[in-house]
A and B are shown apart, each in its own frame.
Chain A
Amino acid sequence: MARQAPKQTAAEKALPPDVHAGREVRDHLGLLAEMTREFTASSDYKTVAHSALARISNYMGAEAASLFLVSDTGEALVCSACYGPVDITGLNISANTGVVGAAVAAREGALVRDVSENVDFGAAVDAKTGFKTRSLLVAPLVLGTDCLGAIEVINRIGGDGLFDSEDLLLLETLAGAAALAISNFRLTHKIVQQERNQHELELAAEIQRDLLPQPSSRDFPIHGINIPARSVSGDFFDIMPMPDGRIWFNVADVSGKGMNAALLMAKTSSLFRCLAKSAEDPGQLLNAINNELCETNFHGMFVTMVGGIFHPGTGLLQITNAGHEPPLHFDLRTERFIAIPADAPPLGIAQDIAGPDGFPVTELFLAGGMLYVFTDGLTEATTFGGGMLGIDGVRALIRDHAEESPDLRLKSIAGAVKLPGQSLRDDLTLLVVEDMGIAPIGAKPPIDAQLSVEDGQIMRVRIPARPDRLKLIRSATEQAAKYCEAPESWIFDLKMAVDEACQNIIRHAYGNKGDGDIMIDYSRERDALVVDIMDFADAVDPETVKSRNLSEVRPGGLGVHLIKSVCDDARFVPPPPGVGNLFKLTKSLPNKVS
């Protein structure tokens, strides 16, 4: 297609030779000012563009004008507004073709003075619309190195109906102003859109915060904290007390960040709440959640989770770890940690991978200790010193803040990695489960532990480890049980269990030498009598102290079986400093008959 591109620059040609020219310049500037004002004042792009085209047409005495913008892909030019007898809004023409396409590609204005003299003029649009194009002006919308599109003006009204090069110069000047106005409009639009997105994110964050449990009261055994790195979080935790007194809890981390992670978090959180009501243990529950998540395709995203159930009456914890950072069991007496590694895969990856009983469950007795569950946002957080906190750093923080109230302790630990006013690199979630009713001997109780009068230690007995003292031990045990108002048959069983445990110390730990002591602490812990039986001998391998098979009738080896038959729990636990072995018996007290 032939076109007449002006050879002079706009600046060279914008110097009118006579007094009329001065008025023309003032008029041009007035039009520019008017158009700029309209573009910046309105957010309705189409109306403003249409109005600008009307002004340009009227000012230039043209029949019609159109605004073509480069499409997002850059492959087409789309008519986004027009003025004139025929509406071609939405008309899509291939970039680089036609007079408009060539002007955009070359970033130069084009004048086709008389289309009848131009054999290359494509009359396809005219054929479609019935409009008769006689003369044509096109000016590109150039802004810096970018070209946004072009303005096309068609047919001069009056005279010979044809445009000349001065008309092109004027259109190019107007197009420059229009390009700036369109660019400003787009920027403003982008900012508005960003603000809208931000607002939606804030709404999502608010809903997410509502999914987290309310802060626990000081005497509740489970507390949690969640600090999102961005407005929405991929981490979450939940605490859900059941009518029977047990408490479900979880800490989870969704792979990925942002809105899609937040949506998966919301789904997983709902599944946990819903399915926990009918689950027996966390192994079953996490297996059910896994199968549900696998039903929905979350594009390769998955969830790591520690789910558990706590029995506050006995201090029993049942935990399943599905691909999550290992939780830490902290024993207050010995200040030792035991990590509970993941023995199930993350949730949402593979369906039906667990057996009929679900994922493996780890059982442990808190026994006055605490369980910390956290996300890698804590272990991988940067400390004030600049390094990564790491698991050793987490352990040190737990030790350092052990005597604070749980709520304050969680804030102190999180505060060690989060500077005020600065955001974290990753979401951080931390949860603690603790035995509120137990005051460990030798360790200071938590400052807010509320022990009622009937709880706590009953007595301590220290006695030579000799067979002739066993009767005294049985008597002491009987008195401790009577203090708890236990019935006769219950007392007999406990006496037998303590007696058998002490026999083992006399025979195995001290080797019948009779040269050591046995120390026994009797404590009332909630609805159980707990007997800590300690010796000062070398450590015994608990594996060597096991029940034997009773189908085999032979003397000996019955003691451990008798103990386990009558106690709710009997096990070696890490002893306090200076003590050789600590064997802990727990026997639930029968419900009082009212």
Chain B
Amino acid sequence: MSYEIRNVNGAAVVALNGDVDLQTSPLVRQKLLESLEGNTRVVVDLSAVNYIDSSGVASLVEAFQVSRKKGASFALASVSSAAMRVLSLARLDKVFTIHPSVEAATAAQG
């Protein structure tokens, strides 16, 4: 798995690439929490995620909970079908704010 963090319209966009599993999710968790420390708007780009497991989902949930405590905005964007399958099985597709694209997400947050 790889990741890339860039700034789009004032939001931190964390783009994940590859498999988010027990091996890689600690890194994902760390990057998401770091992003939330320095930003009030965070978008996670899941378009290139081939696989995400329960530990990856747990990292997303934890970041979401931290954002709410801080009053920050946290959204998922361009969710791949693999990631969407897991989110819907976990019944989290209605919990997260999900946008069809990063642009739509940052526009909505702005």
Binding site for B on A (CB under 8 A): 467-468, 470-471, 474, 489, 492-493, 495-496, 499-500, 503, 506-507, 550, 553-556, 558-559, 561-562, 565-566
Given A500-B54, A556-B58, check contact A506 B22 (CB 8 Å). yes
Which chain B positions have C-beta within 8 A of A565?
89
Is A562 in contact with B21, judged by CB distance below 8 angstroms?
A: no
Is B57 in contact with A470, judged by CB distance below 8 angstroms?
A: no
Is A500 in contact with B53, judged by CB distance below 8 angstroms?
A: yes
Which chain B positions have C-beta within 8 A of A503?
21-22, 53-55
Is A558 in contact with B90, judged by CB distance below 8 angstroms?
A: yes
The A-contacting residues of B in range 42-57, CB under 8 angstroms, are: 51, 53-55, 57
Most buried by A among B22, B23, B90, B91: B22
Q: Which of B58, B65, B82 contacts A558 (CB 8 A)?
A: B58
Which chain A positions have C-beta within 8 A of B90?
550, 558, 561-562
Is B59 in contact with A555, judged by CB distance below 8 angstroms?
A: yes
Q: How many residues of B contact A (CB 8 A)?
A: 23
Is A468 in contact with B23, judged by CB distance below 8 angstroms?
A: yes
Flag whether B86 is at the interface (Cβ < 8 A).
Answer: yes
Is A555 in contact with B61, judged by CB distance below 8 angstroms?
A: yes
Least CB distance, B34 to chain A, in whole angstroms: 17
Given A553-B92, A555-B62, check contact A493 B51 (CB 8 Å). no
**Distance of A493 Cα from B84 Cα, bound (Å):** 12
Is A550 in contact with B54, judged by CB distance below 8 angstroms?
A: no
Q: Which residue of B lies closest to A561 (CB)?
A: B90
Which chain A positions have C-beta within 8 A of B64?
553
**Distance of A4 Cα from B53 Cα, bound (Å):** 118
> What are 20 of the A-B contact pairs (CB < 8 Å)?
A467-B21, A467-B22, A468-B23, A470-B21, A470-B22, A470-B23, A471-B23, A496-B51, A503-B22, A503-B54, A506-B22, A553-B64, A553-B95, A555-B61, A555-B62, A555-B65, A556-B58, A558-B90, A562-B86, A562-B89
Q: Which 7 A-B pairs have the closest CB atoms?
A: A555-B58, A467-B23, A558-B54, A467-B22, A559-B54, A555-B62, A555-B61
Which chain B positions have C-beta within 8 A of A555?
57-59, 61-62, 65
What 8 new A-B contacts, CB under 8 Å, besides A495-B51, A503-B54, A553-B92? Answer: A470-B22, A471-B23, A492-B51, A496-B86, A499-B51, A499-B53, A553-B61, A556-B54
Flag whether B6 is at the interface (Cβ < 8 A).
Answer: no
Given A553-B61, A553-B95, check contact A566 B55 (CB 8 Å). no
Least CB distance, A81 to chain B, in whole angstroms: 94
Most buried by A among B51, B64, B89: B89
**Distance of A566 Cα from B86 Cα, bound (Å):** 10
**Distance of A559 Cα from B64 Cα, bound (Å):** 19
Given A500-B53, A503-B55, check contact A471 B21 (CB 8 Å). yes
Is B53 in contact with A496, judged by CB distance below 8 angstroms?
A: yes
Q: Which of B21, B23, B65, B86 contacts A553 (CB 8 A)?
A: B65
Which chain A positions have C-beta within 8 A of B82?
492
Least CB distance, A471 to chain B, in whole angstroms: 6
